[in-house]
Amino acid sequence: LQSNGCCIGTGFAEENIEPEGETMIKIGGNSYLVPPSLPDVHGCSPGWSSAFYGADCFDSEVHGYVKNLGKQKPSESQNIDAKKVELEQLLMMETKNYRKTIKFYQKLLQKERSSKGPETKSMLPKLRGQLQEMKSKVQFLELVKKYMQMMYAEQWGVESCVLPTVILNGRTDIVDVAPTDESSLLLYYSTEKHQCNNQNGIRVLQAGTPLGLMAYLYSRNAFLEGYVQQFLYTFRYFCTQEEFLQFLLDRISSTLSSSNLDPSTSLTKICNRSFYILQAWIEDCYSVDFATNADLLCTLKEFISSKVVPLNGYGEHLLSLLEDASARKSGSAHQCSGMDKCEEEGEEDRKTLHSLCKKLSEDVSRKGFVTLHIFFLQNFNWKLSKGMGPIAQYQRERLYTISSVLPKPWYNSFTEEFPGSFAKADEAGPYLLIEYSAQQLCCQLTLLQQEVFHKCHPVHFLNSRALGVKDKCVAVQKAVPTETVSVKVCNLFLSKCIHDQYLLQLLRYADSISTWIAAEIVTCHTSKLQVSLLSKFLLIAKRCYEQRNFATAMQILAGLENLIVRQLPAWKILPAKVAEIMEELKAVEVFLKSDSLCLMEGERFKTLPTIPSAHVLAMHVQQLETGGFTMTNGAHKWTKLRNIAKVVSQVHAFQENPYTYTPDFKLQSYLRQRITRYKDADISALAADNCANFHQIPAEKHSRKIQDTLRRMKATFQ
C-alpha cells in the first residue's frame, strides 16, 4: 500500500514495511516491530468509551506512557509484544497492592467502629488518600491496556483510498486492482479542530452507502476513533445481521488462503482485520444478534469449523469465544458487565478489585452527593431536608463481597425460594414496609432494579417506536403481550432485521413498580398508615436519586402521581418537609429529560453506580431518530448514527459500575411477591373498597349543616 502521509491518529505515523517480513509501526515517533504471527487473540472490543469519546478516548498521557513502556535504550525499536508483557506485569502488581491495601482499610474501619484504637482515626484519612492514588494508577494502566489492544487491531488497517478494493475483494479473487473512486461510497467533511502531522485538518466521515460504511471498518484508525463500536451499535438501521456477517465471511474466504504469506500485503490485512471485527462483534453484541438468531449463529459456526480452523489458528479462538458467550448468556443469574468479555482470569481480578474498592468509592464520594444536591438546588430551587445523608448506617455496617455484585434471578415461586419465611406475605401486608428503614428498602429495590437493567444492551433502546413505546407515563399497555406488538409501524430497522424486544420487559417492570406503590397506598385502611407509607416511599425515592438510582426514583414518582393517589386526603396531613420531596422528584425528572447525556457529565459516573430511567432514555433516542436517515443521494447519515451510538453507549458505561449493597434475600422475596401481586392491579377498583381514600365529613358537623339548611329554607317561607 502506498502511503500518502495520511494520519493514523494522535501519536501515530504512517506504516513502514521491513524487508525481513516483520511489520513495523510507528507510534509517537517510535517504531515497534510486530511479528508476522497470529493476530492477538485477547479481547479487542473497543467498549462503550470508544463510542462515547471517539478519538479523544486516549489522551496524550496514554500515548506518552506507551511510547516509553519497555524501552531499554532511547534508540531501540521496542517490540509491541514486549510492551504488552511489561504492562501486564505492572497491572498485576498494582492490582495486588491495591487489593491488600483495601483489605487493610476495611480492618481499620472495623476497629474504628468498635473503638479499639484511637490511632485508627488519624490513619484512615491518610490511607484513604493513598488508596485514591493507587486506584487512579490501576485505572490508568487498564486504559493503557485497552489502547494496546486497539494498537493490535490498527496494525491491519488500510488507507481510505483502498477501501473500494476491500469491497471488490469480496466479489473477485483479484485484490491488487486499481482502486475506484471512494466518493461514490463515502462522503467526508473537513475540519481544522485537530492538527495532524503537517496537515491543516482531517477528514471526518459524514455519510456513506451500506457497503461503504461496512468497508470503512477496515480503515486505519477505525478502532481508535470509535467508528467500530459506533457501527456495532447502529448498523441495523441500514443492513441486517445476515448481510453484515456475509460481508465479513466473504472477505475472509477470499483472503484466508494467502493471509499467512506476508503480513504487509493487503490480503493479510483484510483477513486479519476481518477477524478483529468479527471478534469485536461477538464480544459486544452476542446477546442481541447471535443469541436471538439461531440461523445466524449456525452459519458462523459452520463457516469457522469448515473454512477457518483448517487454515488458521484464529478459528479455534473464535469457536471458544462463541462457547464462552453462550455460557454467559445461559447463566443469566451471573450477568457480566462489559469488562467480562475479555480475558477470564485478568477480568476476574478486576471484578474482585472493583468489589473491594466500592466501599472506598462511596466513602470518598460522600461529598460528591452534596455537590449534586447543591447543583440541583441552584437549578431547581430545592430545599434540603435535614438529617438525610445519602449513605445510611445500615449500608456502612455491612461488608462488601463479590457475591453482592451479582444480581439474583427472578423467582417465579417465592414459596420455593424461602419455604417458611415469607409464604404469608399477604398477611404482613404493608406493615413490613414500615418496619424497614428507607435506606434498607432503597438498597434492596436498587438491587432488584439492577438485576433487570444489567440484562439490557444499548441496542435494545434503538427503534423503540416500532415496539409501541410512546412519550407517556405508561409506556407499554399491560394487556398487550410482547409477541403481539407490531413492528411494522415506524420500523427504522430493515424489515428482515431481528429486533430483540427486551426493552418492553424493562418498561413493564418499571410500570409494575409504579402500580405496586400506588396499590400499597390505596389499600391502607387508615389515613395514618397512608401517611406513613407516603412518607416512606418519598424518602426511598429521595435516597434512590441521591445514590443515582434514577430508575427506581422515577418509578416511585410515577406511582405517587397516579390520579387516584394524588387525590387522597392523606396528602393534606403529610409533614411539610416530606411533602417537599415530591417537588424534588419532579425537578429530577425535568433534569433527566433536559439532556440525553446529563448523567454522563463530569467524572462521577465513572466512580458512582448509576441506573438511568429506561423510559426517559428511550425517549431521548427517539428524539435523535426523528428525521431522515438518508441524504438525497441515498447515502446514510453517519453523523446522525454516531450521535445515537454516543447516547446509547451510556448503558454499558453504567453497567460497568454496579451497586454492591449486601442483598437481603428475605426482604427481596417479600418485595418481589408484593410487586407480583399488584403489578396488574386496577388502582381505582382497589381505592373504591377503602373508605380511607375518601374525604370524610364528621357526623356532628354533617348534621349541623343539614339543620342550618332546613332553618334557612323555613325562614324563606315565613
Percent of the chain with pLDDT over 90: 49
Say if residue 602 is in the same domain as residue 623.
yes
Q: Which of residues 156 and 424 earns the better pLDDT score?
A: 156
Residues 588, 706: one domain?
yes
Between the CA of residue 193 and those of 7, 196, 381, 705, what are the distances in Å? 14, 10, 38, 78
Supply angle C-alpha 367, 373, 374, rounded to 5.
90
Say whether both 231 and 99 belong to one domain: no
What pLDDT is attached to residue 162?
A: 82
Closest CA to 556 of 567, 543, 574: 543
Which region among 169-178, 215-224, 442-451 has the lowest average model confidence (pLDDT)? Answer: 169-178
The pLDDT of residue 3: 33
Q: Using 50, 70 and 90 to split pLDDT, how confident is the model at 301?
A: very high
- The answer to whether residues 136 and 221 belong to one domain is no
Residue 95 counted as domain residue: yes
For the record, the C-alpha cell of 109 comes out as: 474501619
**Same domain? 54 vs 166:** no
329 closest CA partner among 453, 452, 455: 455
- pLDDT above 70 (res 163): yes
Average pLDDT over residues 452-456: 96
Quote the pLDDT of residue 72. Answer: 63
Amino acid at 381: N
Given pLDDT bands bounded at 50, 70 and 90, which one contains residue 81?
A: confident
Question: Could you tell me if residue 356 is inside a domain?
Answer: no
Residues 705 and 608 in one domain: yes
Cα–Cα distances in Å, from 196 out to 12, 159, 191, 550?
9, 15, 11, 41
According to the model, what pLDDT value does residue 490 have? 81
Is the pLDDT confidence value at 180 over 70? Answer: no
Among 104-108, 255-259, 437-441, 498-502, which is the least confidently predicted range? 255-259
Quote the pLDDT of residue 194: 46
**Residue 40 placed within a domain:** no
Confidence of residue 405 (pLDDT cuts 50, 70, 90): very low
660 located within any domain: yes
> Is residue 315 pLDDT above 50, yes or no?
yes
Average pLDDT over residues 7-14: 36
Q: Which residue(s) pair with 205 in the sheet?
A: 188
pLDDT mean over 1-9: 34
pLDDT confidence of residue 22: 42
CATH number at residue 625: 1.10.840.10
- Closest-CA residue to 582 (of 378, 444, 382, 369): 382
Per-residue pLDDT band at 132 (split at 50, 70, 90): confident
State which of 248-257, 347-356, 705-714 shows the largest mean pLDDT: 248-257
Q: Mean pLDDT over residues 492-496, rounded?
A: 90
Instruction: Inform me whether the pLDDT recorded for 476 exceeds 70.
Output: no
Provide φ and ψ at 565, rounded to 5°. -65, -40
Alpha carbon distance 269, 158 (integer Å): 7
Specify the pLDDT at position 351: 45
Nearest Cα to Cα of residue 655 among 432, 335, 381, 427? 335
Which residues in 18-55 are b (16+ Cβ under 10 Å) and which e?
Answer: eeeeebbbbbbebebbbebeebbbbbbbbbbbbbbebb
Cα–Cα distance list, 565 to 190, 227, 358, 415, 523 (Å): 56, 48, 38, 31, 11
The answer to whether residues 580 and 635 belong to one domain is yes
Q: Please say if the pLDDT value at position 200 is more than 90.
A: no
Share the mean pLDDT of the chain.
78
Does position 397 have pLDDT exceeding 70, yes or no?
no
Both 223 and 83 in one domain: the answer is: no
Q: Which pLDDT band holds residue 297 (cuts at 50, 70, 90)? A: very high
SS3 630: strand
Burial degree of 253 (CB within 10 A; 0-12, 13-18, 19+): middle
Give a yes or no: residue 490 inside a domain: no
**What's the gap between Cα 179 and its chain centre?**
40
Q: In this predicted model, which residue has the larger pLDDT, 448 or 333?
A: 448
pLDDT given for residue 639 in this prediction: 96
Last residue of a domain, which of 331, 359, 391? 331
As for how many domains the chain has, the answer is 3
- pLDDT over threshold 60, residue 40: no
Same domain, 246 and 110: no
Alpha carbon dihedral 250, 252, 255, 261, in 10-degree steps, equals 180
Bigger pLDDT: 387 or 369? 369
177 or 81: whose pLDDT is higher?
Answer: 81
- Confidence band, pLDDT 50/70/90 cuts, at residue 472: low
pLDDT given for residue 179 in this prediction? 46
pLDDT tens per residue, range 636-667? 999 999 999 999 999 999 999 999 999 999 99
In the three-class reduction of DSSP (H, G, I as helix; E, B as strand; rest coil), residue 549 is classed as: strand
Q: Are 486 and 476 in contact (CB under 8 A)?
A: no
Q: By C-alpha distance, which of 13, 31, 32, 34 is closest to 22? A: 34
When pLDDT is cut at 50, 70 and 90, the band that residue 113 belongs to is confident
- Residue 74 pLDDT: 58
- Strand 23-27 versus strand 186-191 pairing type: unpaired
Do both 523 and 651 map to the same domain?
yes
Distance, CA of 316 to CA of 298 (rounded, Å): 16
Instruction: Report whether pLDDT(119) > 80.
Output: no
SS3 content of the chain, % helix, strand, coil (to 5): 60, 5, 35
pLDDT classification of 298: cutoffs 50, 70, 90? very high
- Does 678 lie in the same domain as 661? yes
What's the pLDDT at 183? 80
Grid coordinates 424493562 are at which residue? 506
Q: Dihedral, CA atoms, 563, 569, 570, 572, nearest 10 degrees?
A: 110
Q: Does residue 638 fall inside a structural domain?
A: yes
The span from the CA of 326 to the CA of 174, in Å, is 37
- Judged by average pLDDT, the poorest of 77-86, 217-226, 286-295, 608-617 is 77-86
Task: Using pLDDT thresholds of 50, 70 and 90, give the confidence band for residue 428.
Answer: low
Residue 308 located in a structural domain: yes
Are the CB atoms for 553 and 585 separated by under 8 Å?
A: yes
> Average pLDDT for residues 600-615, to the nearest whole number?
90
The Cα–Cα gap between 67 and 29 comes to: 8
501 pLDDT more than 50: yes
Q: What is the pLDDT of residue 624?
A: 97
For residues 33-61, average pLDDT: 73
* Domain end marker among 331, 348, 372: 331
Which amino acid, one-letter code, is at 56?
D
Q: Is the pLDDT higher at 110 or at 32?
A: 110
Q: If pLDDT is split at 50, 70 and 90, which confidence band does 70 have?
A: confident
Check whether residue 99 and residue 220 sit in a common domain. no
Q: Does the pLDDT of residue 420 top 60, yes or no? A: no
Out of 279, 298, 331, pick the residue that ends a domain.
Answer: 331
pLDDT at 34: 42
DSSP structure class, residue 306: I
Residue 551: closest CA among 648, 654, 633: 654
Q: Which of the four pLDDT bands, split at 50, 70 and 90, describes residue 160?
A: confident
Question: What are the φ and ψ backbone dihedral angles of 196, each rounded to 5 degrees?
Answer: -135, 105
Q: Note down the domain range covering 563.
A: 436-472+495-717
SS3 24: strand
Mean pLDDT of 572-576: 93
Please tell me the distance from the alpha carbon of residue 183 to that of residue 124, in angstroms, as a whole number: 62
Q: What is the pLDDT of residue 319?
A: 95
Q: Confidence class of residue 10 from pLDDT cuts 50, 70 and 90?
A: very low
Is residue 404 in a domain? Answer: no
* Backbone CA torsion sign across 597, 601, 607, 608: negative
| Burial of 309 (C-beta count, 10 Å sphere; 0-12/13-18/19+) | middle
CATH of the domain at 256: 1.20.870.10
Place of cell 429529560: 593
- Gap between the Cα atoms of 202 and 531, Å rounded: 62
Residue 586 has pLDDT above 90, yes or no: yes
